[in-house]
A and B are shown apart, each in its own frame.
Chain A
Amino acid sequence: MTYQLSHYDEHILDLLPAYLNGRLDITNIERVRAHLARCEACRRELSSWQAVQGTAQAVVAFAPLPSLNIMNQVLAKIDTQEVQAQQRKRRSISRDAAHLWLVFKRQIPLIHKSIWIAAVGVNILMLALIAFSRPDVRHHLQNVETVLAFFSTVTAATGIAFIYQAEQDAGYEIILATPTSIRIIMICRMVLVIGFNLLLTAITSGIIAFTLGGNLWDFVQLWLGPMLLLASISLTVSVTLGSVFGVAASLIIEVIQAIFSSAERTAPVLQFLRMNIGQTTPFTLILAFILLAFAIYYAPRQPRLSNS
């Protein structure tokens, strides 16, 4: 009871505004009422707050209303902002495309020159080999096909192995210092190197098909699938283990294929591999795509790239 008395006798000044605006909980309402009943000073305080309350309500009651057309202006503002947002989006798409093109163009001088020279050299070598070989060998189309498939595939794979390596890359430090995605750079370089090799080998195939006679697609399908597959294997091994391993892996695969090509009649597994990997089939293309996707996904995570 003593506690109750002293509790109710405490002044309740900070509760009075909430008591007046009806936002006090029931326990505190009772406490305020009990205190007011016995405290003259707090009753005076309450009447002061009532005067403040009445004043605030009176002042606001005489305040003007906003204009009638506010809502129309709001809708007009919303329309304007939505149009502007769409324009910004459209502008940012074209800016992204321009940026991508710039990144793509800038990769040409940054890719190691030997990649281009090697590809041109190998294609010239292939033409020379075919041109200066004995006529009976040359006219045996299978030999020509072997040369074409072997050299073009290895060149592309070797080039790809070196497109993304710290020690081979002059612009490596710049890449690390810019916000441009490593993946974008890798894709640009891959498109450049594979595209260059595809173009050169297509020209060489065209020359061979024209001079020796034969269907161009018969030549192209011999190297297109294997080139893409080996390049993707090379890139995957190169980003995971290093470019030297990438080159080694592609060479080993090609050599194994060459060595065992004579034994394929007796080994059904090898025959399956040659039929499915040694030519352009949906299987080669899908496998190549999966490996490329993995390499592009994996590259930015590679700790070695940040030289840590």
Chain B
Amino acid sequence: MSMQTQHIQPVADERQVIRRIAIGDRDALAELYACYQRTLFNYLLQLTPDHGLAEEILQDTLVAVWKSAQSFEGRSSVRTWLIGIARRQAHNTLRQRRLPLADETEMEGLVATDPEPEAWTLASFARDELAAAFRQLAALHREVLVLTFVQELSYQETATILEVPVGTVKSRLSNARRALRAQLDGREEANP
């Protein structure tokens, strides 16, 4: 089996691959990486803007997967488990280097129960404006948006990864959207 086909084909049974990693199969680790490199790297880039540092954390994540595959019990999906490991590695590294952590200064608001006013809608903004505003968001907010809309995880899975209650995931999502809107307003004031 060549490496190319492994890149294209998804892992047939992810749990089986984890079991193979647990008994020391290095090819299984390479297969898992081929499937999840984009997922993990995209996620890590939300936590740190430093490309090199993100790669380093990605390596540490795979080493941690290699070491802890035996303890994987299948209570969560492989995707959730991997992103959770990546998050812990990122936090350890950022803490060691005294870089800002995603959840340092969070003001968790309540989930809005009433819709925002009509003029507030984000749908009227151009794509590149939105993208630029998204890049300016706090890591905490980018993280929850990527987990929900790119990784398409459930609230429960996101809560597991972030180690917070489900209610916090919901409120963090609505805070992230409000922060995006605030970024756009700030831009409008700067460039009227």
A residues at B contact (CB < 8 Å): 11, 13-14, 17-18, 20-23, 39, 41-42, 44-45, 47-60, 63-67, 70-71, 73-75, 77-78, 81
Task: Find chain A residues with CB under 8 A from B173 CB.
Answer: 17
Task: Find chain A residues with CB under 8 A from B51 CB.
Answer: 64
Can you report 11 residue pairs joining A to B where beta carbons are below 8 Å apart? A14-B111, A14-B170, A44-B116, A48-B121, A52-B176, A52-B180, A55-B130, A55-B131, A56-B146, A59-B134, A63-B41
Is A48 touching B37 in the complex (CB atoms < 8 A)?
no
Task: Find chain A residues with CB under 8 A from B121 CB.
Answer: 44, 47-48, 51
Indicate if B25 sits at the interface (CB-CB under 8 A).
Answer: no
Is B115 touching A52 in the complex (CB atoms < 8 A)?
no
Could you tell me which residues of chain B, from 150 to 192, have a CB within 8 Å of some CB in chain A? 150, 152-155, 170, 173-174, 176-177, 180
Name the residue among B54, B125, B145 with the largest chain A CB count within 10 angstroms. Answer: B145
Name the residue among A42, A52, A65, A78 with the largest chain B CB count within 10 angstroms. Answer: A52
Is B123 touching A51 in the complex (CB atoms < 8 A)?
yes
Task: Find chain B residues with CB under 8 A from A58 CB.
Answer: 127, 131
Task: Find chain B residues with CB under 8 A from A44 CB.
Answer: 115-116, 118, 121, 123
- CB-nearest residue of chain B relative to A39? B115
Is B145 touching A18 in the complex (CB atoms < 8 A)?
no
- CB-nearest residue of chain A relative to B44? A66
Whole-angstrom CA separation of A22 from B133 in the bound complex = 25
Is A41 touching B127 in the complex (CB atoms < 8 A)?
no
Is A70 touching B149 in the complex (CB atoms < 8 A)?
no
Task: Find chain B residues with CB under 8 A from A18 CB.
Answer: 148, 154-155
Indicate if B135 sits at the interface (CB-CB under 8 A).
Answer: yes
Task: Find chain A residues with CB under 8 A from B149 CB.
Answer: 17, 20-21, 52-53, 56-57
Could you tell me which residues of chain B, from 45 to 99, have a CB within 8 Å of some CB in chain A? 45, 51, 54-55, 58-60, 62-63, 66
Name the residue among A14, A49, A65 with the largest chain B CB count within 10 angstroms. Answer: A14
Q: What is the CB-to-nearest-CB distance from B128 to chain A, in angstroms, rounded to a whole number? A: 9
Is A22 touching B152 in the complex (CB atoms < 8 A)?
yes
- CB-nearest residue of chain B relative to A75? B26
Q: What is the CB-to-nearest-CB distance from B134 to chain A, in angstroms, rounded to a whole number? A: 5
Could you tell me which residues of chain B, from 22 to 43, have a CB within 8 Å of some CB in chain A? 26, 29-30, 33, 37-38, 41-42
Is B177 touching A41 in the complex (CB atoms < 8 A)?
no
Q: What is the CB-to-nearest-CB distance from A136 to chain B, in angstroms, rounded to a whole number? A: 78
- CB-nearest residue of chain A relative to B150? A60
- CB-nearest residue of chain B relative to A10? B113
Whole-angstrom CA separation of A53 from B148 in the bound complex = 9
Q: What is the CB-to-nearest-CB distance from B161 to chain A, in angstroms, rounded to a whole number? A: 14
| CB within 8 Å for A23 and B155 given contacts A13-B174, A41-B115, A66-B41 | yes
Whole-angstrom CA separation of A67 from B30 in the bound complex = 14
Whole-angstrom CA separation of A17 from B55 in the bound complex = 30
Whole-angstrom CA separation of A47 from B134 in the bound complex = 17
Q: Which of B41, B66, B112, B133 contacts A78 (CB 8 A)?
A: B66
Q: Which of B54, B135, B154 contacts A23 (CB 8 A)?
A: B154
- CB-nearest residue of chain A relative to B37? A66
Among all A-B residue pairs, the 6 with the closest Cβ atoms: A41-B115, A23-B154, A51-B122, A47-B123, A55-B130, A56-B149
